[in-house]
Every structure is written in C-alpha cells, then in structure tokens.
C-alpha cells in the first residue's frame, strides 16, 4: 500500500502519545482516521487538535479489553466509511516494576486484557470484514523491545504481554499470506530513544475493579528519570513521536514485517541471546540491560 489518500485508518490508543502521532501522520497523508480510545476527554481534544480543512477525523470511545466494545467500534467504522484499510492495534498499558512473586493477579489481568486481548479483539472484529471487502489492507500491532527483543527482568508482566503480541502477529502475518488474502501484518516497535508517552503514567486508566491488591513500586516519573540520568552522566536521546510515526508509515509502504529503528542493534541482541540459548544459558545478562 503506497498511497494512503482516502484510505480508512483506525488507531486504538489514538488520543495521545504514539497513537496521536500516528493519527496526525495518517491525516497528513490524506487518510480518513478514526481515533479509538478509552479516555473520552483526551479523545475529544485529539479530534479538535487534528481537525482541519480537508481532514476527516472522528472518534469512538472503546475499551479494548471488551470484545463487544471493539465490535461496536468496527460497526461504527463500517457504518461511517464502509471499509477499514489500516488497523493500528496500538493501545497499551504497563504495570509497576516488581519481582514476579510480588506482582498481583490484577496486574496480570489488567495488562493482558489490554496489551494481548485488546490486539486479539481488534483482529477478530476487523480482519474478517477487511478480508471480505477484498481490498488491500494492513494490520499494525504495537509491541516493544521489552519482551519482543529482550525482557527487562522487573517488567515481567509488561514484557511477557509484548512477547505475546509478537507471537500473535507472526502467526497472523503467516495466515494472511497462506490464505491468499490481500491483507498483510506488521510488528511496530516504538524505538529510537526515550519515548515520552502515557506509559510514564500507567495507572491513569486502570479500572477500579482491577486495582492492585497491595501497594507496589511508585509509578515511573519521567522528570526523576531525566535527573537520574543527568546525575549519572548519561546522555539521553529522546525520540520525536511525529518523526517515529512517519517512519512507521514508511515501513507500511515498504511492507516491512518489523518496523523498528536501529534494527541492526536489535538483531545483534537477538544473536547474542540465541547463542546463550544454544549454550543452555539464561539469555538475560544484567550488565547489558539499559538502566531505566
């Protein structure tokens, strides 16, 4: 898919961060975009910010944890536009850092319901309709190097959820090709540097019924992180989200299965991990883990 003009795109988690950057990039390229998000206020603000002459953007409140909510989103998109050509399963949340034995059932229930089941629900509600439409289409699932490439030990819940997204997307892409559909799928790895997104405030959307059963580590603080890196003499590189979104759309045009900046570094990490597996060793080496 080279030309996004008049193509219909759906972006979950589209009200902020990487999602909103993707929305803006898609609109710049002439796509019709539906912002899907659980935060209604932020979603309305994003529509107002992204609207303009010649731009077609709308919003639909969705809770990707719930299949009926994602199905309602698909109903809305097809009622409004009659098609979906680009599906960005981008919504994601994170849990507090902790040893696995210090995590709680609700940590796992919440993260997996959004990060894993949210992607599955998106595929289940949209892909059959996209196949039936007979048009060229793309499914882009947001994963993370934390889990997709190598896992941060104290982010076991988040990392394992993103590893699941990788496995799911590999299977999806293979199935779409083997079934001779006109759809393709990609893994999008947010990358290129430190990303200032909603994951730095992970508890803001946590449902009351999935509240953590016991106190945990305080949520990450981007400003404290900056100060700690400065004190350590570490040079921080921040990734511009708008540039990352444009990079992602280029990856779709080029039909890359893996859309990731600095892919050669990730490949080297995977090579070293593979060698450790081959020696029956633990693939995680603490000395190689970025201190975040």
Q: Active-site positions? A: 158
Residue 205: exposed, middle, or buried by beta-carbon count in 10 A (0-12, 13-18, 19+)? middle
Rounded distance, CA 59 to CA 52, Å?
A: 15
C-alpha 198/C-alpha 217 separation (Å) is: 17
For residues 184 and 160, what is the distance between their CA atoms, to the nearest angstrom?
A: 24
Residue 31: strand, helix, or coil: coil
Residues 138/1, Cβ–Cβ less than 8 Å: yes
Asked if residues 113 and 63 have their Cβ atoms less than 8 Å apart, the reply is no
Strands (DSSP E) contained in the chain are 8-12, 32-37, 56-61, 86-89, 137-142, 183-189, 258-260
The counts of H helices and E strands in the chain are 10, 7
By residue count, the chain amounts to 292
Token pair belonging to 222: 């981007």
């Amino acid at each position: 898919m080279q030309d996004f003009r008049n193509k219909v795109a759906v972006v979950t988690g589209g009200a902020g961060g990487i999602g909103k950057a993707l929305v803006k990039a898609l609109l710049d390229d002439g796509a019709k975009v539906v912002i899907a998000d659980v935060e209604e206020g932020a979603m309305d603000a994003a529509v107002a910010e992204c609207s303009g002459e010649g731009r077609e953007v709308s919003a639909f409140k969705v809770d990707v944890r719930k299949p009926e909510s994602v199905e309602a989103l698909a109903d809305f998109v097809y009622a409004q536009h009659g098609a979906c050509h680009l599906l960005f399963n981008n919504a994601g949340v994170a849990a507090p850092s902790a040893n696995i034995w210090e995590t709680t059932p609700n940590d796992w229930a919440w993260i997996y319901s959004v990060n894993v089941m949210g992607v599955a629900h998106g595929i289940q509600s949209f892909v059959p309709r996209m196949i039936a439409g007979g048009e060229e289409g793309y499914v882009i699932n947001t994963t993370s190097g934390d889990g997709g490439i190598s896992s941060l030990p104290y982010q076991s819940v988040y990392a394992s959820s993103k590893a699941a997204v990788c496995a799911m997307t590999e299977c999806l892409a293979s199935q779409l090709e083997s079934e001779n559909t006109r759809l393709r799928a990609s893994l999008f790895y947010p990358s290129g540097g430190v990303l200032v997104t909603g994951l730095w405030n992970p508890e803001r959307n946590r449902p009351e019924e999935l509240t953590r059963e016991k106190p945990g580590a305080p949520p990450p603080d981007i400003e404290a992180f900056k100060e700690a890196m400065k004190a350590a003499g570490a040079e921080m590189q921040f990734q511009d989200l708008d540039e990352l979104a444009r990079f992602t759309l280029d990856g779709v045009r080029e039909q890359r299965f893996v859309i990731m900046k600095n892919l050669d570094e990730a490949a080297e990490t995977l090579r070293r991990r593979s060698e450790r597996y081959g020696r029956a060793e633990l693939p995680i080496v603490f000395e190689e883990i970025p201190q975040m």
